[in-house]
Amino acid sequence: MIESLIAQGGTQQLNRLGNTISGVGQSIQRNRLLDLQEKKQAVDQQRQTVLNNREDVEAKRKFEADLVLELSNTSDERLLPTLQSRAQEAQQLGLDPADILEDMQAIQSGGLAQFRQELEEGVNFLRSNGTI
């Protein structure tokens, strides 16, 4: 009878140990799955950030190309108002209007001929790379 109780106690302990080991194994699997999910989310977020940045760069390039073309066809008298309007538009789009404001200052300081030359170079560049 004592041997039977010892055997039953040993069996119960072995069963508890087996259940504990099984629970640990399940916890390890859950942790691995959670780690994989977190890594996948991080990769997806990085991918989305890259796509968003690429879209931002493309939007900026389009804005700048459109601006160069517009200004190259704008009379000298309309340059400053056009630049002012486009600086505001750039700001509304979340772009930095600093270059546009610098161009305005250069024109106001007598740099119209230099500005026109730079515009011509910009148009030539856009033609040479196939943008227009």
Residues 6+ apart with CB under 8 A from 114: 106
Work out the average pLDDT over 46-67: 85
Q: What are phi and psi of 94, to 5 degrees?
A: 85, 15
CB atoms within 10 A of CB 82: 18
Q: Higher confidence at residue 8 or residue 80?
A: 80
DSSP type of residue 93: T
How large is the angle between the packed helices 76-92 and 2-72, nearest 10 degrees?
Answer: 170
In the predicted structure, residue 129 carries a pLDDT above the cut 70:
yes
pLDDT digit string, tens, across residues 68-86 = 999 999 999 999 999 999 9
In the predicted structure, residue 5 carries a pLDDT above the cut 70:
no
pLDDT digit string, tens, across residues 94-114 = 889 999 999 999 999 999 999
Please tell me the predicted confidence (pLDDT) of residue 38: 86
pLDDT digit string, tens, across residues 28-46 = 888 888 888 888 888 888 8
- What stretches of the chain adopt beta strand conformation (E)? none
Please tell me the predicted confidence (pLDDT) of residue 99: 94
Please tell me the predicted confidence (pLDDT) of residue 56: 83
Q: What are phi and psi of 4, to 5 degrees?
A: -65, -40
**Confidence grade of residue 8 (pLDDT, cut at 50, 70, 90):** low
What is the spatial distance between Cα 38 and Cα 42, in angstroms, rounded to a whole number? 6
